Amino acid sequence: MVEAQGPAEVTLGTLHQGLSVLRQDVSVLRQDLSIVKEDLSIVKQDLSILRQDLSALRLETREGFAGLHRELSETRVELAGILRELAGGVREMITIQHLALDELRGVNARLDNFARGRGDGAPPV
């Protein structure tokens, strides 16, 4: 800006120069505002994309958890079946052990009878 020569000596030329500088400043500010508006538009677009991505991620996560839940349910059913089979096997083993024990008692009784001289299998006297 051009300085006046004295406090009361502001001339029309000086005012004209000052107004010209202000007009240039306003023009620069308008350009800056236009750039800011463009940047804001880009930010809004990015935000919209981020919202869509977040929505897709939520859906994918929901579907993923639903899939995991289904798999866990299926695994639980399979494990329950395996446990039932194991329980059946254990019951069968116990039954076999009882039968074997009964058989051993019978053999033991026959051996006792034989050792006492009664080989006919009759109960000991």
Q: What is the DSSP letter of 7?
A: T
Q: Please check whether residue 24 is in contact with residue 4, taking contact to mean a CB–CB distance below 8 angstroms.
A: no
pLDDT, tens only, 28-86:
999 999 999 999 999 999 999 999 999 999 999 999 999 999 999 999 999 999 999 99
Which of the four pLDDT bands, split at 50, 70 and 90, describes residue 117? Answer: confident
At 113 the pLDDT is 84
Higher-pLDDT residue of 119 and 18 is 18
Average pLDDT, the chain: 88
Phi/psi-derived region of residue 118, left when phi > 0, alpha when psi is between -120 and 50, beta in every other case: beta
Higher-pLDDT residue of 123 and 45 is 45
Mean pLDDT to the nearest integer, 96-116 = 90
At 58 the pLDDT is 94
The three-point CA angle 34-40-44 to 5° equals: 145
Q: What tokens does 114 get? A: 């034989």
Higher-pLDDT residue of 124 and 90 is 90
- What residues have CB less than 8 Å from 124, skipping those under 6 apart? 109, 112, 113, 116, 118
Tell me the C-alpha distance between 36 and 44, whole Å: 12
Can you give the pTM of this predicted structure?
0.48
Q: What tokens does 103 get? A: 């058989």
Q: What tokens does 90 get? A: 């254990």
State how far the alpha carbon of 66 is from the alpha carbons of 7, 58, 73, 79, in Å.
81, 12, 10, 20
- What residues have CB less than 8 Å from 119, skipping those under 6 apart? 113
